[in-house]
Structure 1
């Protein structure tokens, strides 16, 4: 690994000194990716069939549900880790559907805050409950202690990654 923590092209990572560990970590990554894609595909299909919506719309609604007073578009993009352009089209459609409302920001004519309408909050609450049940069903082979162990390990990986980005 490089000093900054990321593996640079042409540089050997820590696993180059431990081939068995490197291969195990690569297999782990591939299994995580496969499992994530499987769960995400199921959730996308369930959202489409049950609520006639998409995962990106659900994600926007989830972010705004947690921010009751709403978020500026730039804040929403940051929370979702996508570009403003990616969010704008989704927000436009959610506004047209009466799920979101745009509110002008005082002292900044260019900016707007978006937040869920009452109907949007109610709809998201229903969707979130079903989403949780779907995830629970998809992961029902994982007991609580295993889930907590996995969460701890993933948090360790994420925090290691976050410190390298800073």
Structure 2
């Protein structure tokens, strides 16, 4: 990657603001491509993919509130998606013993297989979009972003 010479850099606060704007713009562009690819190749949406991805990490399933927490969205946002995925046979709701109002949501075998197909394509799309980064560069940037996220979650955001 080409880096500007130090004498043409703006003050640190301006360069950091530009970095944030570039990250946001790039993230939105990648998300747009992913949404389109999921729609075209699998007739699905990114939120449906995200729900299946979250459930794929929890073989025993998750309560709706847990699923919302993993996805960082409200229960209301997830309910409709879960309903449609259940109608399509990709997941099931299992009642929680002793709690009539609660159920655990988990992928069916069909859902696992479908998610594996989608996840494989998703990985290939991301790999193609980010192919300009060597593995070491991707790992370094990832580590730096992880440090930033940890700082923000520990209250070091201002």
TM-score (norm 1): 0.87
Structure 1 position 150 matched with structure 2 position 144: no
Deviation at 1:164, TM superposition (A): 1.1
Q: How many residues align?
A: 147
Q: Which residue of 2 aligns with 1:57?
A: 48
Deviation at 1:110, TM superposition (A): 0.6
Between the aligned partners of 2:108 and 2:138, the Cα distance in structure 1 is 34
- Segments of 5+ residues of structure 2 without an aligned counterpart are 1-9
Corresponding residue SS for 2:106: strand
The CA RMSD measured in Å over matched residues stands at 1.0
Deviation at 1:38, TM superposition (A): 0.7
Deviation at 1:93, TM superposition (A): 0.4
- Segments of 5+ residues of structure 1 without an aligned counterpart are 1-18
Q: Indicate which of 118, 121, 125 corresponds to 1:127.
A: 118
Structure 1 position 138 matched with structure 2 position 129: yes
| 1:62-77 alignment runs, 5 A limit | 62-77=53-68
Between the aligned partners of 1:21 and 1:137, the Cα distance in structure 2 is 32
Structure 1 runs of 4+ off > 4 angstroms?
none
Structure 1 position 90 matched with structure 2 position 81: yes
Deviation at 1:148, TM superposition (A): 1.1
Deviates more, 1:75-84 or 1:141-150: 141-150
